[in-house]
Amino acid sequence: MPQGQPDYVPDDGLTTRQRRHRPLVMVHTGPGKGKSTAAFGLATRAWAQGWSIGVFQFVKSAKWRIGEERALRTLAESGEGGTVSWNKMGEGWSWIRHRRATEDHAADAAEGWEQIKRDLAAETHRLYVLDEFTYPMKWGWVDVEDVVATLAQRPGTQHVVITGRDADPRLVDAADLVTEMSKVRHPMDVGQKGQRGIEW
């Protein structure tokens, strides 16, 4: 946990206050658990600050994150904090009226990224959770250089957290905060499958 004392103060012409409120790009990567869980924890904290939150899930899955989704929707509906826009690639992005008959994950991912670009340009949200977004980059569905350039040029104060294994080195270089989650021990190693409430 940061103790409030930076290692050094950069000669960047910014005041401490300006630097403090600098919008961040955060990456949670590595083979261990907690990458997405920590990102949704950040979203919870952002809700408490009254922020607008945009969640974009880039891997199709029926049961993963349903707990977080239900919790964030319940929080948003309480009217006491921020708002949440939850978008899933696997179920057809919410802003697209009709689902295509054929499943084209590459096109779906590209469409998701285009919407994020529009939202960033319009300063729609204060926090973006791009869950498992490293994979469409890894698989070549979304151009890493475009992501890095777009993030570098985003206006205003918009925080972005990206989760997933194997984050591209160019993304890691562009990020302000990178956390690597490593697996020290996991019950899967001793023959246990995932369980409800813990894994999803």
Name which of residues 39 to 98 contact its own copies (CB under 8 A): 40-42, 44-49, 51, 64, 66-68, 70-71, 74-75, 78, 80-81
**Given candidates 55, 109, 151, 175, which one binds its own copies under the rule CB under 8 A?**
175
Smallest gap from residue 23 Cβ to its own copies (A) = 10
Smaller CB distance to its own copies: residue 90 or 115? 90
Total residues contacting its own copies by CB under 8 A comes to 77
**Given candidates 142, 159, 168, 171, which one binds its own copies under the rule CB under 8 A?**
159
Window contacting its own copies (CB under 8 A); options: 23-31, 90-98, 102-110, 142-150? 23-31
Q: Does residue 196 interact with its own copies by CB under 8 A?
A: yes
Instruction: Work out whether the CA dihedral 12, 13, 18, 23 comes out positive or negative.
Output: negative
DSSP helix/strand/coil, 35: helix
Report d(CA 19, CA 120) in Å as an integer.
20
Beta bridge mates, 83: 52
Q: Does residue 197 interact with its own copies by CB under 8 A?
A: yes
Smaller CB distance to its own copies: residue 49 or 94? 49
Q: Does residue 195 interact with its own copies by CB under 8 A?
A: yes
Beta bridge mates, 56: 87, 130
**Phi/psi of residue 161, each to 5°?**
-120, 130
Letter string b/e over residues 3-32, b meaning 16 or more CB atoms within 10 A of that residue's CB? eeeeeeeeeeeeeeeeeeeeeebbbbbbee
Smaller CB distance to its own copies: residue 111 or 168? 168
**Given candidates 15, 102, 153, 192, which one binds its own copies under the rule CB under 8 A?**
192
Report d(CA 172, CA 187) in Å as an integer.
29
Going by C-alpha positions, the residue among 45, 28, 27, 24 that lies closest to residue 156 is 24
Window contacting its own copies (CB under 8 A); options: 19-27, 101-109, 115-123, 145-153? 19-27
The token pair at 27 is 């990456």
Q: Does residue 189 interact with its own copies by CB under 8 A?
A: yes
